[in-house]
């Protein structure tokens, strides 16, 4: 880049956080990951498959599951029941707006 041409570039073109030309390309292939990232992703995938196979928590003993069920029952009793793991649905009603006539003060 010549000394004169950098003045015509925008700030976004010089900043790597803005997605400029210097931003590295992200790759989803496993060969581009370092060993720690690969191990982390493999562990998450393994836990996910175990969780699906067991139908819930992985390696949870019956005492823990009993305690969890008791706590969920307490929360349902305190907060009115319903599904505690589902995202709540919000319903907002439109406010009733009244038209206000402008006040005109004429002084002579």
User: Per residue in 45-104, pLDDT tens?
Assistant: 999 999 999 888 888 899 999 999 999 889 888 887 777 778 878 899 999 998 888 888
Question: Where are the strands (E) in the chain, listed by range?
Answer: none
Rg, Å, the chain Cα set: 29
User: Is residue 72 domain-resident?
Assistant: yes
Place 11 in a pLDDT band, splitting at 50, 70 and 90. Answer: low
Residue 98 lies in a domain: no
Q: Work out how many domains the chain is built from and give that number.
A: 1
Domain contains 73:
yes
Domain-embedded: residue 59: yes
Q: Is residue 97 assigned to a domain?
A: no
**What is the reported pLDDT for 28?**
55
- 3-state helix, strand, coil split of the chain in percent (to 5) is 45, 0, 55
Range of the domain at 70: 27-81
pTM equals 0.39
């Amino acid at each position: 880049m010549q000394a004169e041409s950098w003045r015509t570039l925008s700030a976004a073109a010089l900043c790597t956080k803005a997605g400029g030309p210097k931003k590295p390309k992200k790759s989803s292939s496993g060969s581009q990951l370092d060993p720690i990232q690969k191990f982390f992703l493999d562990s998450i995938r393994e836990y996910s498959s175990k969780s699906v196979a067991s139908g819930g928590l992985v390696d949870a003993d019956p005492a823990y599951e009993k305690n969890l069920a008791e706590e969920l029952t307490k929360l349902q009793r305190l907060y009115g029941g319903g599904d505690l793991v589902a995202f709540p649905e919000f319903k907002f009603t439109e406010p009733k707006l009244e038209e206000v006539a402008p006040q005109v003060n004429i002084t002579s």
